[in-house]
Amino acid sequence: MPETLPAIETLAALRTAEAACTRCPLYKDATQVVPGEGPSEAKFMLVGEQPGDKEDIAGRPFVGPAGRILDSALADAGIPRETTFVTNAVKHFKHELSGRRRLHKRPNAYEIERCKWWNDLERRIVKPQVVVALGATAARSMLGRPVTISNIRGRPIELSDGGRLVVTIHPSALLRIEDEADQRAKYQELVSDLQAAAKLGS
pLDDT value of position 202: 65
Q: How many residues does the chain have?
A: 202
Q: Is residue 148 part of a domain?
A: yes
The domain containing residue 34 runs over which residues? Answer: 11-200
pLDDT tier, 1 (very low <50, low <70, confident <90, very high otherwise): very low
Is the pLDDT at 109 greater than 50? The verdict is yes
Beta-bridge partners for 132:
46, 166
Domain-located, residue 3: no
Q: Is residue 2 situated within a structural domain? A: no
Q: What whole-number distance in Å separates Cα of residue 142 and Cα of residue 190?
A: 19
Q: In this structure, is residue 5 part of a structural domain? A: no
Pseudo-torsion of CA 51, 56, 62, 68, nearest 10°?
A: -120
Provide the number of structural domains found in the chain.
1
Is residue 143 included in any domain, yes or no? Answer: yes
Q: What predicted TM-score, i.e. pTM, was given to this entire model?
A: 0.94
Q: What is the CATH number of the domain that holds 143?
A: 3.40.470.10
Tell me whether residue 71 is in a domain: yes
pLDDT, one tens digit per residue, over 72-107 is 999 999 999 999 999 999 999 999 888 888 888 999
Decide if 6 is inside a domain. no
pLDDT at 6 over 50: yes
One-letter identity of residue 60: R
